[in-house]
Structure 1
């Protein structure tokens, strides 16, 4: 269910996406609200789920994770039990940064990080492929990141 956002809510979202650590006082000055009204609006955006959480964005390479891969996964047989089993396992792996259900010729797309290619190979063989519901895995290694953002486009 979508939430109706007014111009002020959108302004708050734009500012928080640029700097999630901005103080409420600074945020209120930037958008032209009193600090108490700004805090109330921000809390409402959190409570309604528009803002899911506040987090630090870590540079994988600087944290020692040199490999970034996108992995296409197919399950067999494809039914609710295999889906539940697969998704339950995926939640356990910190290497799996994102998991998307797909339409088309593949069932899932995973974003996976690893220290190096050997660690990646070991994770795929020793962990991911141990799930017997997986029928195939196809990996695309990231050679360079040309654009990356976590910001959602917000029209103020």
Structure 2
């Protein structure tokens, strides 16, 4: 169910997506509200779940995580029990940054970071494939990130 946002809510979301560490005072000035009204609006966006969380985006390469891969995974058998077990398993794997359930010929898509190819190989063999339901893994290695954003186009809602 979509929630209707007014122009002020949209302005708050645009500014917070640019810089989530902005102070409430600076945010209120940018969107033309009093600090207390701005804080109330922001809290409402959090309480309604429109803002899921505030996060810090880390440059993994600067921390030595040189390998980024997208991993297609198939489970056998594919049923509620194996899916639940698989999701519990990957939620405990810090290398898995994102996980998507898919339609089509693959069941899941994972975004995985690793220090290097050897570490990635070890992750696949020693961690991902430890889930007995994983029947197939297909990897696409990222050569270069051309665009990366977490920005949601607010003007389209």
* TM norm. shorter chain > 0.5: yes
Q: Displacement, 1:63?
A: 1.2
Tell whether 2:133 aligns with 1:133: yes
1:20 is matched with 20
Hey, what's the Cα distance between the residues in 2 that align with 1:51 and 1:63?
Answer: 28
State the secondary structure of the residue aligned to 1:3.
coil
Matched, 1:41 2:41: yes
SS in structure 1 of the partner of residue 25 of structure 2: helix
Distance in 1 (alpha carbons) for counterparts of 2:89 and 2:5: 36
Q: For 1:50-129, list aligned pairs within 5 A.
A: 50-129=50-129
Give the drift of 1:4: 1.4
Distance (whole Å) between structure 2 residues aligned to residue 35 and residue 13 of structure 1: 15
SS at match of 1:97: strand
Q: CA deviation at 1:2?
A: 2.0
Alpha-carbon distance in 2 for matches of 1:107, 1:23: 42
The alignment's TM-score, normalised by the length of structure 2, stands at 0.98
Instruction: For residue 105 of structure 1, give the secondary structure of its aligned residue in structure 2.
Output: coil
Which blocks of at least 5 consecutive residues in structure 1 are unaligned? none
Which 4+ runs in 1 deviate beyond 4 A?
A: none
> Normalising by structure 1, what TM-score?
0.98
Q: Distance in 2 between matches of 1:66 and 1:75?
A: 28
Q: Residue in 2 aligned with 1:10?
A: 10
1:61 & 1:112 partners in 2: Cα distance? 13
